[in-house]
Amino acid sequence: MEWINLKKPVRVGFILLIICVIALYGIYWAFYDMNRLPKGELISEVVSPNGEYTLKAYLVNGGTTVAYCIRGELKYNIGNKKPKTIYWNYRETEAKVEWKDKDTVVINGHSLMVKKDVYDWRREN
């Protein structure tokens, strides 16, 4: 009786798995990566109560067929961490920014703990 050679099916399955992982990462990178958002035009800056952070709000013009967006970028005033985008919302032209405490900011009604939270309208649908 001949034994079935499983090496070839395992190898093919592994290659297909790698292709799927690369494709899924490509989709994330192209459509959901917050680091790839357009910069926009600075419309406001609000410093946190303890001066540790500055929230910069940018108005992003998507072009003639896309509505305006607001991008909120958190700048670290202490240390040398790179700024990070923590807010991205579609169909907005103004940014109402209010610090609730030293680590919590409210942007257009969305409350975010700046150390861990991110709001991205694309993930809400």
Per-residue pLDDT reduced to its tens digit, 37-80 = 788 999 999 999 999 999 999 999 977 778 899 999 999 999 89
**Which pLDDT does position 4 carry in this prediction?**
57
Check whether 27 has a pLDDT greater than 90: no
| Dist CA 39 CA 34 (whole Å) | 11
Please state, rounded to an integer, the average pLDDT across all residues of the chain.
88
pLDDT band at 11 (very low <50, low <70, confident <90, very high): confident
Residue pair 57/99 in contact (Cβ under 8 Å)? The answer is no
| Dist CA 59 CA 39 (whole Å) | 8
Check whether 25 has a pLDDT greater than 60: yes
More reliable by pLDDT, 116 or 4: 116
